[in-house]
Structure formats: structure tokens, C-alpha cells
């Protein structure tokens, strides 16, 4: 890049202009912070240099061990060694610790690499400002600029780091466990675990007891999620319509009355209902005996237990659905109903053509997420039935177990960590694709996309 300067004799001669952006970018490539020091941003440069030194130190001292730990999962088991005349226990490598430490190191280096590229971009932009004759910001001015104009990005970056280390990393850890032979019979530190590829994936489909359990539990899981979502929505919709009718008085009283099941902690409500539906001393069966009617095995018969679960979930979930739908109904203009009355529309037609579309426009994404949440509704199944009644045909699962409670039993009770990880992967893939596809096909999402 050249510019012409006039000499004393009046002759214009070309004068080369230093391309600050290229120099700053190259220096930042060589070492984080050098580009900022070149651009005379000394405070920012020193901070980035310190961060760079920490990153290089971590890469040099930790990365080789992290890669070794993830690849080998350890080489020495816990064993006894003779020291003099006695044997002493010598701790070996802990495969799980090596895997976790390796993942943490790699994720920290990913953050470092991200900062490295941002540092190059910043040095290039600042160098461009210098070429254009602008003044570079001091460290104090940079902080003030971030606080004034980049605060949303900073506020988002903190939760994103939390998601990276507390959500994404555990998911990757779970995925990696599915490719190992990690079980209660092969558990560190007494034993080392090994990589075994897709063996667990193959076993869960090839071994009959595992495949039968997987298909049965998965089918009930989706039936359960569908029934619970539909019943809570239909029940909440019906109650909301009744409460919002003009003829109904004391609307506030009825709203408060119907919200009581939701106001009581679900943990307490579930345990109370468990006692109410108890087959031996539950009050429902006691009343049936007094009336001379046969008792009902609410929690001990496979089919009736599933029906009981749906009923209890309906009782606990319809109040919040009712409140949300009442809020939507209050936003529908009364002019639409008046115009429908003039046109001679029946009550059902107004419900079908005005009320229902308005409710579904807002509720469709929520219903999708509720369906996804019901697939992972661990608390109700665990507290009410515990997955029982049991089945001799299933592998560590009962008739009312859903996938998430089956995973709990496989990990906490049986120590089948690799099989539990495989099932967790299936749940993650299915729910992710289903949730994204469903939400993207809702009317509310499409109209927002058009805007």
C-alpha cells in the first residue's frame, strides 16, 4: 500500500504505508496478545499473553496425558506388591478418572482455541483502524465498550460455558461409555475398562432378553407420553372453557380450587396417591369392600397400573394447562364470537373455528415440549410404582418402567453402565430430532420465520 508525499522540491514520491492489520494478525498468530501489544493496547495484550501462557502450559503438560488416558483408559490395575516380607496394595490407573480428566482438558483447550481465533480477529480489526488513521482504544476504553455494546454477548457466554461443561461434556462422556465394557463386574479401580466398539449396541438388539425389554419399554414410553400429553391438554382445555363461560359465577374461586393439585408439591401428592391406590389398605379399595364390590389391583396389575399412572398424571398436570389456556382465551377478541353469532354459527363451530385454532397457535410448541418431557417423566413412575409390577421376561425392568426409569435401574441397581449409556443415546437422538422437527413444523414457528 502506498501514498504520495510531496518533497521540498515539489516532487511527489511514493511512500510505503505499514499494513498494520497484517502485521498485527501475524503477530497474534505467533502468540496470543502480541498483536494487541503491537497495536499499543498494552493492557489487553498483557492479559491475553497471560491467558496464552496458561493455554500453552496446559497443552504441553496436560494434553499428552489426556490423549493417552482417553486412548488407553489406563494400563495398570490395582494390585498387590511384595515390599520386604509384607504385601502392599498399589493403586493402579482409574479408567473413569482418566476419561473425565481427558475430556476436561480437551474442552479447556477448545475454549483456548476459540479465544485464539478471536484474538487474531481483534488484532486485525484494530490494525485496520490504525491504517485508517483512527485511535486505538485503551484497556479501560475496551472494557467500557464491552460493558456498553457487548454486554449481551458476555451475558450469554457465561451460560454457554456452563452448557459446554455441564451438559455437552456429560453427554459426550455418556456416549463414550457406550463403547466400553464398563459394568459392575468390571469396575475401576479394581479393574480397567476397555474400548469394545459397537459390541454393546449389537448385544442390545441381538440378545433376545435385551431386545425384548428395549422394544416393550420403548413402546410403553411413547404410549405413556402420548396419553399423558393428550389427557392433560384435553382436561385443561375443558375446564378452562367451563370456567370462562359467562354463565359461571365466582370465576376466581373455581380457578383457585382447580389449581390446588398443582400448588401441592408433586412429591407429596404422588406419595399420598400411592397410599390411596394401595391394593391392601388403600381407602379406595376399602370403600369398594364396604359396598360389596371386588377390589381393584391398582398398582399390581400391569394394565391397571398403567391406567392408574395416566390418571394420577392427569390430576397433577391439568391445572397448569388450564391456567395457560385461560390466559389464551382471555386474549381472543369478543368481536369474533359476536360476528360468529350474527352468522348463525353454533357453539361447536365457534369452538372449532375460533377457540381451538387460537389455543393451538400458542400451545402447539408447549405441547411438543410437554410430550418430550413426559418421555423423561422419572418422578411419577419412580414414586408411584417404581416400575412395578415386575416381569420375568424383561431384563432389569418392570411393566410400568419407561426408558428413563429403566436407565436408573441399570445404573444404580444393576451397574450395567454401558447398556444404560446406549439407551441414553437412543433417547437423546430420538427426542432431539422429534423436538426440532415438531417445533419447526408448528404454525407459530413458521409465521415467526416469515417475519
Element (H, E) at 14: strand 12-16
- 128 and 204 both lie in a single domain: no
Decide if 192 is inside a domain.
Answer: no
In this predicted structure, the answer to whether residue 12 has a pLDDT above a threshold of 80 is no
- 326 and 419 both lie in a single domain: yes
Identify the top-confidence range among 2-16, 87-101, 206-220.
206-220
Is 404 in contact with 376 (CB distance < 8 Å)?
yes
Binning pLDDT at 50, 70 and 90, where does residue 17 land? low
Residue 67 confidence (pLDDT)? 92
Cα dist from 351 to 51, 135, 300, 337, 358, whole Å: 62, 65, 41, 10, 10
Rounded percentage of the chain residues whose pLDDT exceeds 90: 32
Tens of pLDDT, residue by residue over 305-334, are: 999 999 999 988 888 888 888 888 888 888
All three cell numbers of 95, joined, read: 479408567
Cβ neighbours of residue 163 under 8 Å, at least 6 residues apart? none
Residue 9 confidence (pLDDT)? 47
- 391 and 266 both lie in a single domain: yes
In this predicted structure, the answer to whether residue 7 has a pLDDT above a threshold of 50 is no
**φ, ψ for residue 300 (rounded to 5)?**
-110, -20
Count of domains for the chain: 2
Residue 79 confidence (pLDDT)? 67
Whether the upstream peptide bond of residue 389 has omega within 30° of 0, thus cis, is yes
Nearest to 367 by CA among 331, 330, 328: 328
Decide if 1 is inside a domain.
Answer: no
Whether the upstream peptide bond of residue 189 has omega within 30° of 0, thus cis, is yes
Of 11 and 271, which is predicted with more confidence? 271
Decide if 256 is inside a domain.
Answer: yes
Instruction: Output the domain CATH number for residue 387.
Output: 1.10.3720.10
- pTM (two decimals): 0.80
**CB-CB neighbours of 124 under 10 Å:** 19
- 224 and 152 both lie in a single domain: no
- 122 and 215 both lie in a single domain: no
Decide if 171 is inside a domain.
Answer: no
Of 84 and 57, which is predicted with more confidence? 57
Is 379 in contact with 441 (CB distance < 8 Å)?
no
- 285 and 414 both lie in a single domain: yes
- 75 and 129 both lie in a single domain: yes
Tens of pLDDT, residue by residue over 46-75, are: 989 998 999 899 889 999 999 999 999 988
Find the mean pLDDT for residues 182-194: 86
Residue 400 confidence (pLDDT)? 94
Tens of pLDDT, residue by residue over 388-436, are: 898 888 999 999 999 999 999 999 999 899 999 999 999 888 888 877 7
Is 390 in contact with 417 (CB distance < 8 Å)?
no
- 204 and 153 both lie in a single domain: no
Residue 153 confidence (pLDDT)? 77
- Look at residue 195 and give its three-state secondary structure: strand
Identify the top-confidence range among 4-18, 81-95, 242-256, 420-434.
420-434
Decide if 14 is inside a domain.
Answer: no
| Domain end call among 128, 159, 190 | 159
Binning pLDDT at 50, 70 and 90, where does residue 6 land? very low
Mean pLDDT of the chain: 84
Binning pLDDT at 50, 70 and 90, where does residue 195 land? very high
- 300 and 385 both lie in a single domain: yes
Of 12 and 278, which is predicted with more confidence? 278
DSSP states along 68-102 = HHHHHS-S---EEEEETTEEEEE----HHHHHHHH
Residue 306 confidence (pLDDT)? 94
Decide if 10 is inside a domain.
Answer: no
Decide if 190 is inside a domain.
Answer: no
Decide if 325 is inside a domain.
Answer: yes
- 354 and 248 both lie in a single domain: yes
Element (H, E) at 67: helix 63-72
Residue 177 confidence (pLDDT)? 92
Domain that holds residue 311: 198-448
- 321 and 209 both lie in a single domain: yes
Tens of pLDDT, residue by residue over 126-143, are: 888 888 877 777 777 777
Would you call 69 exposed, middle or buried from its count of C-beta atoms within 10 A (0-12, 13-18, 19+)? Answer: buried
Find the mean pLDDT for residues 179-199: 89
- 121 and 208 both lie in a single domain: no
Amino acid at each position: 500500500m502506498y501514498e504520495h508525499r510531496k518533497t521540498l522540491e515539489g516532487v511527489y514520491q511514493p511512500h510505503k504505508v505499514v499494513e498494520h492489520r497484517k502485521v498485527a494478525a501475524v503477530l497474534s498468530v505467533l502468540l496470543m496478545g502480541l498483536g494487541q501489544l503491537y497495536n499499543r493496547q498494552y493492557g489487553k495484550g498483557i492479559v491475553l499473553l497471560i491467558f496464552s501462557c496458561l493455554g500453552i502450559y496446559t497443552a504441553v503438560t496436560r494434553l499428552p496425558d489426556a490423549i493417552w488416558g482417553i486412548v488407553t483408559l489406563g494400563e495398570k490395575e490395582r494390585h498387590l506388591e511384595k515390599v520386604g516380607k509384607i504385601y502392599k496394595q498399589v493403586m493402579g490407573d482409574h479408567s473413569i478418572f482418566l476419561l473425565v480428566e481427558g475430556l476436561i482438558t480437551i474442552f479447556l483447550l477448545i475454549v483456548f482455541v476459540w479465544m485464539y481465533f478471536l484474538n487474531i480477529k481483534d488484532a486485525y480489526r484494530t490494525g485496520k483502524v490504525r491504517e485508517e488513521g483512527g485511535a486505538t482504544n485503551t484497556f479501560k476504553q475496551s472494557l467500557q465498550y464491552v460493558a456498553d455494546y457487548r454486554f449481551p454477548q458476555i451475558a450469554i457466554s457465561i451460560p454457554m460455558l456452563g452448557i459446554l461443561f455441564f451438559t455437552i461434556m456429560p453427554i459426550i462422556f455418556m456416549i463414550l461409555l457406550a463403547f466400553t465394557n464398563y459394568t459392575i463386574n468390571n469396575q475401576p479401580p479394581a479393574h480397567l475398562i476397555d474400548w469394545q466398539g459397537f459390541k454393546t449396541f449389537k448385544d442390545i438388539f441381538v440378545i433376545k432378553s435385551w431386545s425384548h425389554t428395549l422394544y416393550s419399554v420403548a413402546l410403553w414410553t411413547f404410549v405413556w407420553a402420548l396419553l399423558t400429553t393428550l389427557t392433560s391438554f384435553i382436561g385443561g382445555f375443558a375446564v378452562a372453557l367451563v370456567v370462562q363461560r359467562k354463565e359461571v359465577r365466582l370465576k376466581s374461586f373455581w380457578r383457585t380450587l382447580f389449581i390446588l393439585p398443582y400448588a401441592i408439591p408433586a412429591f407429596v401428592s404422588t406419595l399420598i396417591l400411592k397410599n390411596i391406590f394401595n391394593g391392601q389398605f388403600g381407602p379406595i379399595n376399602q370403600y369398594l369392600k364396604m359396598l360389596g364390590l371386588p377390589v381393584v389391583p391398582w398398582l399390581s396389575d400391569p394394565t391397571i397400573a398403567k391406567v392408574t399412572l395416566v390418571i394420577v398424571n392427569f390430576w397433577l398436570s391439568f391445572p397448569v394447562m388450564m391456567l395457560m389456556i385461560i390466559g389464551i382465551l382471555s386474549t381472543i377478541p369478543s368481536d369474533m364470537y359476536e360476528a360468529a353469532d350474527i352468522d348463525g354459527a353454533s357453539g361447536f363451530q365457534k369452538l372449532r373455528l375460533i377457540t381451538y385454532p387460537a389455543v393451538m397457535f400458542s400451545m402447539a410448541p408447549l405441547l411438543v415440549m410437554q410430550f418430550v418431557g413426559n418421555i423423561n417423566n422419572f418422578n411419577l413412575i419412580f414414586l408411584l410404582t417404581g416400575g412395578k409390577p415386575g416381569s420375568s421376561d424383561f431384563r432389569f425392568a418392570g411393566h410400568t418402567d419407561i426408558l428413563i426409569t429403566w436407565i436408573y435401574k441399570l445404573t444404580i441397581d444393576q451397574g450395567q453402565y454401558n447398556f444404560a449409556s446406549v439407551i441414553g443415546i437412543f433417547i437423546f437422538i430420538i427426542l432431539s430430532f422429534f423436538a426440532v422437527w415438531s417445533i419447526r413444523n408448528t404454525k407459530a414457528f413458521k409465521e415467526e420465520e416469515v417475519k
